[in-house]
Amino acid sequence: MIKAEHIDVSFKKENQTTLFGRERQQVLFDVSFEVKKGQCLGILGESGSGKSTLGRVLCGLLKPDKGSVRFESGKKAVISVVFQDYSTSANPRFTVKSLIGEGLMVKEKREKKTLNRKEETNRLLTLVGLDESYLHRLPHELSGGQLQRVCIARALAVNPEVILFDEAISSLDAHTQVQIMDLLKEIQEEKGLTYIFITHDLTSVTYLCSHVLFLYKGKAVEVRATEAISEVSHPYARKLLGAIPDVGEVYEPKVPDQAVS
Ligand SMILES: Nc1ncnc2c1ncn2[C@@H]1O[C@H](COP(=O)(O)OP(=O)(O)OP(=O)(O)O)[C@@H](O)[C@H]1O
């Protein structure tokens, strides 16, 4: 379980008028929530609402001004992160083998043991729906979806308890997004992983996540189980829900009256 309590984050304001200006801009306000093992929490909010900042706090990359993040074990959980910009988060000179090797190296260091790299790499490639034929390819020789699969394999190589996806599928086309989300669901079920899925896209949250946190102007305004998402009451959450198309409905264009003979 991850328990985030009363998190405040502020940054020093840029372009301050005085030389040693100490003005700060608060970005997160008293954010609290919890995620149980095996759940997928979607953090949903518009651009600038503080989603990535919250993600950085959760994985320990940023210390909050106030508040805490605690894990079930009492120790720090092993968290892997998958970013949106897979083309820059993957070194362009690294082959698929070396990219996955980065994750395996972290695992070797942490667990203080030497892994059978070849076997592990092939296992991970299979897990993300790729095969050995990709081993020696460079990032530019892969499609966006394939490269993101490699980044997911690298994240899994660490053997994490939690994976944080920061807009990880946002730049992929809709079809590839669904493929990757199906893959993530399968892996989660198989490994009992906990996911935190940061996005501005409600449709992907309802497809993938068990719970959703609505982040509005740095405040967690509502947390709901996805199956009860229609019961949201905060105006921002309601507005977002109003914008989602009813995917169950088939669109049939109406024939204009005058066209009917
Ligand atoms: N290191 C930093 N220094 C100063 N301000 C920052 C820093 N990081 C983030 N901010 C500010 O914090 C606010 C929230 O940024 P954040 O990246 O968390 O938003 P977001 O919801 O992830 O947005 P997006 O969806 O556009 O990525 C923004 O106003 C941003 O300018």
Tens digits of residue pLDDT in 90-139? 889 999 999 999 999 999 998 899 999 999 999 999 999 999 999 999 99
The answer, yes or no, to whether any atom of ligand 1 lies below 6 A from the CB of 24, is no
Nearest CA to ligand 1 atom 27: 47
Mean pLDDT, to the nearest integer, of 226-240? 90
User: What CATH number belongs to 1-13+26-77+162-243?
Assistant: 3.40.50.300
- 52 pocket-lining for ligand 1 (C-beta < 6 Å): yes
Map out the domains of the chain as residue ranges.
1-13+26-77+162-243, 86-160
At 199 the pLDDT is: 94
Give yes or no for a contact between 118 and 45, defined as CB atoms under 8 angstroms apart: no
Q: Is 107 exposed, middle or buried (0-12, 13-18, 19+ CB in 10 A)?
A: middle
Cβ of 27 less than 6 Å from ligand 1: yes
CA of 87 to the centre of ligand 1 (A): 21
pLDDT at residue 21, rounded to an integer: 65
Confidence of residue 221 (pLDDT cuts 50, 70, 90): very high
Indicate the length of the chain as a whole number.
Answer: 261
pLDDT at residue number 20 = 66
Distance 53 CA to ligand 1 centre (A): 6
Render pLDDT for 33-81 as a digit per residue (tens, 0 to 9).
999 999 999 999 999 999 999 999 998 899 999 999 998 777 778 899 9
78 CA to centre of ligand 1 in angstroms: 24
Q: CB–CB of 85/25 below 8 Å?
A: no
49 CB near ligand 1 (under 6 Å): yes
CA distance 242 to 217: 19
Interface ipTM? 0.96
Query: What DSSP state is assigned to residue 254?
Result: P
Residue 181 has pLDDT above 50, yes or no: yes
Q: What atom in ligand 1 is closest to the CA of residue 25?
A: 5
- pLDDT reported for residue 172: 86
| pLDDT score for 261 | 33
Tell me the mean pLDDT in the region 230-246: 81
pLDDT cut 90: percent of the chain above it = 68
* pLDDT-derived band at 187, boundaries 50, 70, 90: very high
